[in-house]
DNA sequence: TTGTAAGCGTTATCAC
DNA sequence: GTGATAACGCTTACAA
């Protein structure tokens, strides 16, 4: 059953039927009613492909993850997609999920989608500071929105949590608790959000007059395993860090596991703070202090932004930096020996551990 | 740049250019080369929508999850999509992810996709025993494959782990360790996989001459929270179960957490076995014994099956039941008091706890 | 308010 | 080997 057949049966032209069905005003109520009820009766559904070709719109938005691998084992992916999907669904748009296969560049996937006119707009996540996907799309003026900023952010729509501020808050919290040896388990610094968070960490420390030793910063990656590995390495340092900031909750949960394995209680001997507030964070042991990221809402906004772009909105008006919220649970607390930490640790120089007796008191063995 | 313009520049007809580009044999090598190089030079990419309309194929496969909500917090979703996506990508098909909004039926989403001819085939997951999506699609002879069986499974392609066998193995393992009070934290029994696993549990128990008390079976749902809740309730039972089978790993991880909260060590006082072998299972505390589900491979197979269906394959030839593998880690072990468990517990009747002194010895308080 | 007809950019069917 | 030309099923000027 197609439009031609339906109009034939109604004794009307395709034009009139099409307009009746699409809610145009210049069709008589009686005709519309006849058309609609006959369409339902005959089970008519318009052919989306034909509509798309004719209208020049694909009614489809693509999502091109930086790497799906980054989401393996990561529970918040479904929530992001749900937010995007429900918004697109309401607008009768399809969501194409582009899975970038190992060894292929996300840029090539973007290209395929854009040049084949398979999508009207795109959503990107986990932007690199210099992101080839962004350069390409912004260069072409193609409608897109990103989760996270990058160096071209001024030119496109985005939603981002203020990661710099977030890590500043988390670091300040630890400083206020008396920590001085604060480590950061980060990830690949090509990710812009890694840099931002790092900047917040450094800023808070700098304000406290602390330059963190190089060894306190690690770029291990996402996921539990990476967090555990990093934590174990950090615990071998002397002086030993009394607090661990983690790039993501899974990292933090892995780190806490490693700590427990070493007989160190997270939140007591060593504080840990995560990022994202995944469902697991609330029920971790101990419940993880973290930064709340309303990922579902972010998905909704991203989809809405792309839709707005298609309606001619200005990308400059579609840039949102959300204020972070620090969720304090039980994985952070004062360092075990605040006096020693405050006195000794803060003056450790940037690179090598101090030569014996050269400066400052050493920690008790 | 479109086909017409490209052919004009080449001084060839659209027909020839189209055939040269699509690898037809009846075009001279010289012409093909000219066409291909000119196309690249001018950055020609065919309009997918036009191709789709003309060829009658949408080159798109849809994935309609039973409920995306079931995947919130569930880490294996990305892996499933990766498997589907990489296979489709290789075939130059798009993957449309249909997010079923709360309050809407997955069936309606299927309808929209099928009747609007937006997809050539579908993939479904978490089938109900009586699944409206399946009834609808099978009834129309639409190409689709499911992750999991249902009562119409004979009529369509599917991949499934043999859940009945899996739970039989898990239950037998516990019986061999000496457990007799074995609880099952299940989920909504409309899911066919819940029924299958339940059947395996019952079969193994029956073979050991055990009819489980009704209270030992719970239908709490997925996720950590549900698992924790169920475990706490089960631990209030007398006699107390010495082992917990869980419908999914997250459930099991939640259950283990609750046990620890009650001062019970998983793998010692109470054994726990999960299902799926998500990455978290390996690093849980203690490492979780579970059933391995190669979800990525399942995604790959499902996509390949739908593609095969489009090439005319017979659904009856595309039905795979995979043999489960029990992964033994540290969350299972003998019951704390095997003698008492073996003697007393097995004879508890099905429904109510025994009236005092009516039959069998009671457990020591 | 309704109808005619020209696209949309391909692929497919024929002739030549 | 190559080229007209007709679909594909819809939307949308424009005409009536």
Q: In this structure, what token pair is assigned to residue B100?
A: 């079923």
- φ, ψ at A318 (rounded to 5°): -115, 60
Angle (CA) B134 B188 B198, round 5°: 95
d(CA A106, CA B315): 34
Q: Which residue has the tokens 């996989």?
A: B193
Give the bridge partners for B184, in sequence order. Answer: B217, B245
pLDDT tens digits, one per residue of B17-41: 999 999 888 889 999 999 999 999 9
Q: How far is CA B294 from CA A39, B73, B276, B298, in A?
A: 45, 19, 8, 6
Q: What pLDDT is stored for residue B347 in this prediction?
A: 39
CB contact under 8 A, B69 and A81: no
pLDDT tens digits, one per residue of B241-295: 999 999 999 999 999 999 999 999 999 999 999 999 998 899 888 999 999 999 9
Bond before B239 cis per omega within 30 degrees: yes
d(CA B348, CA B7): 83
| Nucleotide closest to A1 measured between CA and C1' | D9
The helices-and-strands tally (H runs, E runs) of chain B is 14, 12
CB contact under 8 A, B279 and A98: no
Q: Which residue of B has its CA nearest to A96?
A: B96
Contacts of B25 (CB under 8 A, 6+ apart): none
In B, which residues are within 8 Å of A50 by CB distance? 53
The b-or-e profile of B137-160 (16+ CB within 10 A means b, else e) is bbeeebbbbbbbbbebbebbbbbb
pLDDT of B90 above 50? yes
d(CA A97, CA A314): 25
Q: What pLDDT is stored for residue A309 in this prediction?
A: 96
Angle (CA) A70 A71 A72, round 5°: 100
pLDDT tens digits, one per residue of A30-68: 999 999 999 999 999 999 999 999 999 999 999 999 888
Q: Which residue has the tokens 């707005």?
A: A308
Q: Which residue of A has its CA nearest to B52?
A: A49
Q: How far is the CA of B119 from the C1' of C16 (A)?
A: 38
Q: What pLDDT is stored for residue A71 in this prediction?
A: 81
In B, which residues are within 8 Å of A98 by CB distance? 85, 89, 94-95
d(CA B249, CA A266): 24
d(CA A142, CA A107): 14
Q: How many CA atoms lie within 13 A of A217 on its CB side?
A: 17
d(CA A296, CA B71): 13
Contact A324, A167 (CB under 8 A): no
| Nucleotide closest to B55 measured between CA and C1' | C11
Longest dimension (CA), chain A: 100
d(CA B312, CA B119): 16
Q: Is the CB of A352 under 7 A from strand D?
A: no
Contact B50, B84 (CB under 8 A): no
CB contact under 8 A, A74 and B75: yes
Q: Which of A77, A98, A224 sits opposite B279 (nearest CB)?
A: A224
Q: Is the CB of A4 under 7 A from strand D?
A: yes
Q: Which residue has the tokens 């037998």?
A: B172
Q: For chains A and B, count residue pairs whose Cβ atoms are closer than 8 Å.
A: 159
Q: How far is the CA of A3 from the C1' of C8 (A)?
A: 17
pLDDT tens digits, one per residue of B138-189: 999 999 999 999 999 999 999 999 999 999 999 999 999 999 999 999 999 9
Q: What pLDDT is stored for residue B238 in this prediction?
A: 94
Give the closest residue to D2 (Cα–C1′): B16
Measure CA A115 to chain center: 26
Mean pLDDT over all residues of chain B? 90
CB contact under 8 A, B86 and A99: yes
Q: How far is CA A212 from CA A196, A271, A352, in A?
A: 16, 17, 12
Residue A105 CB neighbours (<10 A): 11
Give the closest residue to D13 (Cα–C1′): A15
CB contact under 8 A, A73 and B278: yes
Closest-CA residue to A73 (of B187, B251, B259, B75): B75
d(CA B211, CA B64): 38
d(CA A33, CA A40): 11
Residue B55 CB neighbours (<10 A): 10
CB contact under 8 A, B85 and A99: yes
DSSP letter, residue A284: S
Q: In this structure, what token pair is assigned to residue A181?
A: 């040896």
Q: What pLDDT is stored for residue B270 in this prediction?
A: 98
d(CA A228, CA A234): 10
Contact A48, A59 (CB under 8 A): yes
Give the closest residue to C2 (Cα–C1′): A16
d(CA A242, CA A270): 5
Longest dimension (CA), chain B: 100
Single pTM value for the model: 0.90
pLDDT tens digits, one per residue of A93-151: 999 999 888 889 999 999 999 999 999 999 999 999 999 999 999 999 999 999 999 99
CB contact under 8 A, B224 and A53: no
The helices-and-strands tally (H runs, E runs) of chain A is 14, 12
Strand D bases, protein C-beta under 7 A: 1-5, 7-13
Q: Which residue has the tokens 């995944």?
A: A278
In A, which residues are within 8 Å of B142 by CB distance? none
Closest-CA residue to A270 (of A178, A335, A340): A335
Mean pLDDT over all residues of chain A? 90
H/E element, A281: helix A279-283
Q: If you write DSSP's letter for every residue of A309-365 in order, what string do you get?
A: HHTT--GGG-EEEEPPEEE--SS----SSHHHHHHHGGG--SSSPPPTTTSSPPPP-
Please give the residue that has the higher pLDDT: either A241 or B337. Answer: A241
Strand C bases, protein C-beta under 7 A: 1-5, 7-13
Q: What pLDDT is stored for residue A355 in this prediction?
A: 32
Section A228-253 average pLDDT: 97
Q: What pLDDT is stored for residue A338 in this prediction?
A: 53
CB contact under 8 A, A85 and B77: no
At CB < 8 A and 24+ separation, what contacts does B339-346 make? Answer: B340/B364, B341/B178, B341/B179, B341/B180, B341/B181, B341/B242, B342/B178, B342/B180, B344/B239, B345/B180, B345/B181, B345/B239, B345/B242, B346/B180, B346/B208, B346/B209, B346/B210
pLDDT tens digits, one per residue of B301-346: 999 999 999 999 999 999 999 999 999 999 999 999 755 544 444 4
Q: Which residue of A has its CA nearest to B226?
A: A283
Instruction: Using a pLDDT cut of 90, give the percent of chain B over it.
Output: 83
The b-or-e profile of A319-332 (16+ CB within 10 A means b, else e) is beebebebbebebb
Q: Is the CB of A14 under 7 A from strand D?
A: yes
């Amino acid at each position: 059953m197609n439009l031609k057949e339906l109009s034939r049966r109604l004794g009307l032209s395709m034009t009139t039927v099409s307009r009746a069905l699409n809610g145009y005003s210049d069709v008589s109520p009686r005709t519309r009613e006849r058309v609609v009820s006959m369409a339902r009766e005959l089970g008519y559904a318009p052919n989306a492909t034909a509509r798309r070709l004719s209208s020049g719109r694909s009614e489809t938005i693509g999502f091109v993850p930086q790497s799906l691998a980054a989401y393996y084992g990561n529970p918040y992916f479904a929530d992001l997609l749900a937010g995007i999907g429900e918004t697109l669904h309401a607008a009768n748009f399809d969501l194409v999920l582009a899975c970038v296969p190992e060894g292929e560049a996300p840029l090539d996937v973007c290209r395929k989608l854009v040049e084949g006119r398979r999508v009207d707009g795109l959503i990107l996540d986990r932007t690199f500071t210099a992101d080839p996907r962004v350069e390409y799309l912004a260069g072409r003026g193609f409608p897109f929105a990103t989760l996270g900023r990058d160096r071209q952010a001024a030119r496109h729509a985005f939603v981002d949590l203020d990661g710099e501020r977030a890590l500043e808050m988390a670091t300040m919290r630890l400083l206020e608790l008396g920590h001085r040896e604060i480590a950061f388990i980060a990830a690949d610094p090509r990710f812009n959000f890694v840099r931002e968070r790092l900047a917040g960490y450094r800023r808070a420390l700098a304000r406290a007059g602390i330059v963190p030793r190089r060894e306190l910063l690690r770029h291990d990656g996402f996921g539990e395993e990476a967090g555990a590995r990093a934590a174990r390495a950090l615990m071998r340092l002397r002086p030993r860090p009394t607090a661990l900031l983690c790039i993501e909750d899974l990292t933090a949960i892995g780190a806490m596991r490693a700590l427990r394995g070493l007989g160190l209680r997270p939140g007591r001997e060593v504080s840990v703070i995560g990022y994202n507030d995944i469902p697991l964070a609330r029920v971790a042991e101990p419940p993880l202090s973290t930064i709340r990221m309303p990922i579902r809402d972010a998905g909704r906004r991203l989809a809405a932004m792309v839709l707005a772009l298609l309606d001619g909105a200005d990308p400059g008006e579609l840039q949102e930096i959300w204020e972070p919220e620090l969720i304090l649970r039980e994985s952070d607390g004062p360092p075990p020996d605040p006096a020693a930490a405050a006195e000794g640790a803060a003056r450790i120089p940037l690179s090598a551990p101090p030569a014996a007796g050269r400066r400052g008191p050493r920690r008790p063995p």
